[in-house]
C-alpha cells in the first residue's frame, strides 16, 4: 500500500502510562461492509414486485459494480414500472371494438378544399402565430442507425445542394413563418414574432443534439426560444414481466417510444411552461420528414376553425398493402384512432368504398399532428392512469447474449382515442411527405428519394414563379432547392425567379 493510503490511527493516552492504538476503517472498507449483501429495504421492494432476480449475481460483483447496481435500481420508479408492466401484459389478447372507416365529414380533402377556405385558414393561422398561441413540438429521440449514422437523425444531410441538415431545414421554416406572421400582423413591418420550439431527445441523442444546435448558433433562432427535454426509458422485460439484465449490474432499458412525449412533457413541467407563455396550440411532428411544413398556418387555421381537440395531416394510401398505419373509427360512433398496417385485416386493407371507388381505409398517418394545450394535459394524465404500452418483441442485449424480450413503448398516436373530437386534413404526399428512414440502396424512404421529392417540388415552384432551368442530367434526377428563408410553400418567389435561369442542381437563396 502506498504511504498516502495507509490507514489512519488514533493514539489514546490512559492513566497507567500505557497507550492503545485504535485503527479506523477507510471509506472503501465501510462500503464493503455495507454492500456485503443487497440493501435490505431495496431487496424487499424488489421482492414486492417480483424483480428480486436483479440481485441474483450480487456475490460475483465488485464493490463498485454492486454500488452501480444499487444506483441503477434506485433510479427506477418501481411502483410505476410495475403498474405499466402488469397493465400492458394484461391488455394483450383483450378484444377491442370493431373498426369502421373514417366518416367523410371528419376529413378536409384536397379536392374539396376551396381557395377561399385556404386563404381564410392561412390568415387565421398567421394571426394565432402572431398572437403567440402556437408552439412547435419536435419528436427527435431517434438515432440515424438505419441511415448508417450514430448521430441524431436531425443532424442528417440528405444530399441537397445546400448541404443542410434536417434540423436546419426545419429551423429555417420556423424563421420563415415568423417573418410571414410579422408581415401579416404589421402590414409589411419587420416586427419579430417568436415561435417556441420544444425538442424531445432521448438519453442517446440529448447531448449530441444540444451540442449540434450550439455549434450552429441555433440556425438563426434565439437560443431561449428552443427548449430541449428527454423522453423516458423503461426496463426491457421477459415475456413473464421480469427485468432483463444487460450486464450483471445494469438493467436493460429502452426509450419509451415517441408517445413518451406526453409523460415527458408532464414530468418536465413543460405543459406548465407552455401555459405560462400563453400557448394554446401545439404542432407536433417527427424529425425524419424532409418536406414537413413546420408551424403550417393553413393547418393551424383549419384546426382553430373546426374547434377540435386534435387534428392530423393525412395522405392517401398509395396501395392496399402499403406499410403505413391508417386512421379508423374505433367502435360505432367511437373516436378516431390509428391502426398499424400489421393489425389491419388484408380484406379490410383492400376494401373499396363503392361511392368513391377508393380504398375505405385510405387515410395514412404521417406523424403531423395538432393539439390544444388543454388536450395535451388530458392525454398526459389519461395515458399515465391507464398505463397500457405496446409490447414490441425484440432481441435484447443481456448477460446471456442477445435474448428475445419485450420493449415497452407508447406511440404519439395513442393520444387520439382520448380526444372528444378529431379532424383530418389531407395533404399531397409529393408536397409534404418525404420520409428519411432507410439507407440509400433500400427500396423506399431513403435520403435519395427524399432529396428528389424536395428538388422536384421546388422546381415546380420556380417554374410557376416564371423561372427557367437548365440541367446536364435528366430533370427527373435533379432539380433546384429553394431555401426556406426565401419561401415557405412556394409564395413570394416571383421577384427572385421571374425571367431568370437556374442551372440544376443548385440552391436558390437570398
d(C-alpha 425, C-alpha 160), whole Å: 28
Q: How many CB atoms lie within 10 A of CB 105?
A: 7
Written as tens digits, the pLDDT of the chain (510 aa) is: 444 444 444 444 444 444 444 445 566 666 666 788 999 999 999 999 999 999 999 999 999 999 999 999 999 999 999 999 999 999 887 777 889 999 999 999 999 999 999 999 999 999 999 999 999 999 998 877 788 888 999 999 999 999 999 999 999 999 999 999 999 987 544 455 799 999 999 998 999 999 999 999 999 999 999 999 999 999 999 999 999 999 999 999 999 999 999 999 999 999 999 999 999 999 999 999 999 999 999 999 999 999 999 999 999 999 999 989 999 999 888 999 999 988 889 999 999 998 888 999 999 999 999 999 999 999 999 998 888 999 999 999 999 999 999 999 999 999 999 999 999 999 999 999 999 999 999 888 999 999 999 999 999 999 999 999 999 888 888 999 999 999 999 999 999 999 999 999 999 997
C-alpha angle 479/299/350, rounded to 5°? 80
Region class of 387: left (phi > 0), else alpha (psi between -120 and 50), else beta: left
d(C-alpha 346, C-alpha 361), whole Å: 11
Strands 336-339 and 363-372: unpaired
Q: How many CB atoms lie within 10 A of CB 144?
A: 22
**End-to-end alpha carbon distance in the chain:** 69
DSSP assignment string, 151-178: SBGGG-B---TT--BHHHHHHHHHHHHH
Q: Which residues are within 8 A (CB) of 400 and not within 5 positions of it... i.e. 6 or more apart?
A: none
d(C-alpha 21, C-alpha 466), whole Å: 96
d(C-alpha 507, C-alpha 497), whole Å: 12
Instruction: Let me know if 54 is exposed, middle or buried by CB neighbors in 10 A (0-12, 13-18, 19+).
Output: buried
d(C-alpha 481, C-alpha 494), whole Å: 15
d(C-alpha 182, C-alpha 180), whole Å: 5
Residue with cell string 425571367? 499
Cell digits of residue 441:
440502396
Q: Are 423 and 308 in contact (CB under 8 A)?
A: yes
Three-state secondary structure along 395-411? EEEEECEEEEEEEEECC
Amino acid at each position: 500500500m502506498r504511504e498516502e493510503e495507509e490507514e489512519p490511527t488514533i493514539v489514546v493516552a490512559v492513566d497507567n502510562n500505557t497507550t492503545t492504538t485504535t485503527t479506523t476503517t477507510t471509506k472503501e472498507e465501510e462500503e464493503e461492509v455495507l454492500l456485503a449483501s443487497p440493501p435490505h429495504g431495496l431487496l424487499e421492494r424488489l421482492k414486492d414486485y417480483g424483480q428480486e432476480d436483479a440481485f441474483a449475481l450480487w456475490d460475483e460483483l465488485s464493490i463498485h459494480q454492486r454500488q452501480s447496481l444499487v444506483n441503477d435500481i434506485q433510479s427506477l420508479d418501481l411502483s410505476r414500472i410495475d403498474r405499466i408492466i402488469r397493465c400492458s401484459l394484461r391488455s394483450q389478447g383483450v378484444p377491442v371494438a370493431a373498426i369502421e372507416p373514417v366518416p367523410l365529414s371528419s376529413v378536409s380533402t384536397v379536392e374539396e378544399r376551396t381557395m377561399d377556405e385556404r386563404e381564410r385558414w392561412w390568415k387565421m393561422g398567421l394571426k394565432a402565430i402572431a398572437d403567440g398561441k402556437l408552439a412547435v413540438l419536435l419528436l427527435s429521440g431517434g438515432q440515424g442507425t438505419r441511415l448508417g449514422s450514430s448521430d441524431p437523425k436531425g443532424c442528417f444531410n440528405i444530399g441537397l445542394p445546400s448541404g443542410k441538415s434536417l434540423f436546419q431545414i426545419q429551423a429555417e421554416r420556423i424563421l420563415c413563418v415568423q417573418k410571414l406572421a410579422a408581415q401579416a400582423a404589421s402590414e409589411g413591418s419587420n416586427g419579430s414574432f417568436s415561435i417556441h420550439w420544444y425538442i424531445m431527445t432521448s438519453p442517446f441523442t440529448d447531448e449530441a443534439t444540444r451540442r449540434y444546435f450550439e455549434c450552429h448558433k441555433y440556425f438563426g433562432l434565439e437560443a431561449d426560444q428552443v427548449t430541449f427535454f428527454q423522453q423516458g426509458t423503461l426496463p426491457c422485460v421477459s415475456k413473464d414481466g421480469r427485468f432483463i439484465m444487460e450486464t450483471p449490474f445494469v438493467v436493460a432499458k429502452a426509450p419509451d417510444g415517441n408517445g413518451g412525449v406526453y409523460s415527458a412533457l408532464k414530468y418536465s413541467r413543460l405543459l406548465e411552461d407552455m401555459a405560462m407563455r400563453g400557448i394554446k396550440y401545439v404542432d407536433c411532428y417527427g424529425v425524419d420528414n424532409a418536406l414537413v411544413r413546420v408551424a403550417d398556418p393553413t393547418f393551424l387555421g383549419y384546426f382553430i376553425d373546426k374547434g377540435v381537440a386534435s387534428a392530423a395531416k393525412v395522405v392517401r394510401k398509395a396501395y392496399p398493402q402499403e406499410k403505413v398505419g391508417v386512421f379508423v373509427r374505433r367502435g360505432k360512433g367511437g373516436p378516431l384512432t390509428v391502426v398499424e398496417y400489421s393489425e389491419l385485416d388484408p380484406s379490410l386493407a383492400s376494401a373499396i368504398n363503392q361511392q368513391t371507388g377508393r380504398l375505405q381505409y385510405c387515410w395514412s398517418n404521417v406523424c403531423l399532428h395538432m393539439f390544444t394545450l388543454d388536450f395535451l394535459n388530458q392525454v398526459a394524465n389519461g395515458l399515465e392512469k391507464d398505463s397500457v404500452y405496446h409490447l414490441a418483441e425484440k432481441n435484447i442485449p443481456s448477460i446471456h447474449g442477445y435474448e428475445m424480450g419485450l420493449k415497452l413503448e407508447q406511440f404519439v398516436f395513442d393520444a387520439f382515442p382520448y380526444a372528444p373530437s378529431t379532424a383530418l386534413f389531407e395533404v399531397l404526399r409529393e408536397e409534404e411527405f418525404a420520409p428519411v428512414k432507410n439507407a440509400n440502396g433500400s427500396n423506399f424512404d431513403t435520403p435519395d428519394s427524399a432529396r428528389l421529392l424536395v428538388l422536384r417540388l421546388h422546381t415546380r415552384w420556380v417554374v410557376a414563379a416564371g423561372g427557367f432551368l437548365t440541367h446536364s442530367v435528366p430533370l427527373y434526377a435533379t432539380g433546384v432547392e429553394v431555401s426556406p428563408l426565401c419561401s415557405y410553400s412556394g409564395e413570394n418567389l416571383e421577384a427572385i425567379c421571374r425571367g431568370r435561369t437556374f442551372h440544376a442542381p443548385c440552391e436558390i437563396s437570398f
